[in-house]
Amino acid sequence: MKKIGRFLVSGLVLIALIATIAPPAQSAPPPLGTPQTTLLVTGLQGTIGSTVGPDGALYVPEGVVGRITRVDPQTGALTTFASGLPKTIPAVGIGGAMDVAFIGNTAYVLVTLVSPDVGGSDVDGIYRVDGPDSFTVVADIGTFNLNNPPTIPFAVSVATGVQFALQTYRGGFLVTDGHLNRVLHVGLDGAVNVMIAFDDIVPTGLTVSGDTVYMAEAGPVPHLPQNGKVVKFGPKSASATEVAYGASLMVAVKFGRGRSRPSRNCRRRGCCRDVLYALSQGPGVPGAPPGSPAQPNSGAFVEVNTDGTFTVIVDELNLPTSLEFIGTTAYVVTLTGEIWKIDGFAAPPFGKSH
């Protein structure tokens, strides 16, 4: 495992790319601390976000075909959970169903870049899944953005924004907008408010711990390495606090099991805590225009260290976009329509999981 600090090249991915990567050869399961990477799923279409559902399965939006797919985390078996959502507009290259989250047993889907201003005819916002092919728009984020443009000066070419990630929070949702550079709080009643606004930092993935929000930043064009960050903020924060920086194009952040087994005394004292992990997208293609995909097979699954650096757990990932944990297994979703399982990097707890 490699520890990295402030010296990676960076690039921003905001359009879809179809590419392939061969799974590494594996024989026997490696010892603890040696990650085992297994290709679980291929062939998904337009994959950016994901979540773990109340049944313990993975749920992944496929923007190109307008559906949410349920993935068995053990076998990789695919079933359609919901279909008929707005699809990616071909001329745009990204959008439609971007991310999904559950409140109880009800799924909600983040949909973006489908409104009339980009050539579509649908609503940019949060859709509630009412049935296998029926939905209700519970929040019109596109209209909110049109009526409430950013007050911080930076170039805006899509006034309705580019919503990237959806996260449940305080009975509603948080939504990152990677183009308008802000995080929205959205209620189940459809109310939309700006929770926190930024300069041109390109916010991407989100996770929460209590009231604290952890967020990945890709950084502005040309996406210099020092601008690839993980930050944190609270519900009343005027600005974010840096947690770590220096990895190329951060797109996801999530808490998971730590790589070192805690002592029994630590567990009794309550100091056994999950560790923060993140996904680095990878360096950009030299000479490519802004918004172009990163270099294939250059992404990384990293651990966020307390000294503000990152430790590489698995590298050479192909355009990762989303990260989930089920037990001690990490699941990485990619722009290429793949899902990878990563085992062997985390220590199982003593007794029951905490």
Residues of the chain with pLDDT > 70, as a percent, come to: 82
Among the residue ranges 86-100, 128-142, 232-246, 254-268, the one predicted with the least confidence is 254-268
Measuring CA to CA, how many Å separate 294 from each of 118, 224, 284?
24, 13, 4
Among the residue ranges 92-106, 135-149, 183-197, 211-225, the one predicted with the least confidence is 211-225
Count Cα neighbours of 196 within 13 Å in the Cβ-side half-sphere: 21
Nearest-angstrom CA–CA distance, 150 and 201: 13
Nearest-angstrom CA–CA distance, 90 and 109: 20
Q: How confident is the model at residue 210 (pLDDT cuts 50, 70, 90)?
A: very high
pLDDT at 350: 56
Nearest-angstrom CA–CA distance, 39 and 23: 6
> Which residue's entry shows tokens 């409140």?
103
Question: Which residues have a Cβ under 8 Å from the Cβ of 17 and sit 6 or more positions away?
Answer: 293, 296, 319, 335, 336
Mean pLDDT of the chain: 87
DSSP 173-202: EEEEETTTTEEEEE-TTS-EEEEEE-SS--
pLDDT at 292: 67
Nearest-angstrom CA–CA distance, 16 and 292: 9
Burial class (CB in 10 A: 0-12, 13-18, 19+), 205: buried
Measuring CA to CA, how many Å separate 257 from each of 172, 211, 223, 316, 330?
26, 20, 30, 22, 9
Which pTM value belongs to this model?
A: 0.88
Nearest-angstrom CA–CA distance, 339 and 40: 6
Q: Which domains does the chain have, with CATH numbers?
A: 2-343 (2.120.10.30)
Burial class (CB in 10 A: 0-12, 13-18, 19+), 257: buried
| Exposed e or buried b per residue across 5-41, where buried means at least 16 C-beta atoms within 10 angstroms of its C-beta | eeebbbbbbbebbeeebeeeeeeeeeebeebbbeebb
Nearest-angstrom CA–CA distance, 22 and 342: 15
Contact status, residue 304 vs residue 243, Cβ threshold 8 Å: yes
Q: What is the pLDDT of residues 15-43, one digit of tens each?
A: 333 232 233 333 334 445 689 999 999 99
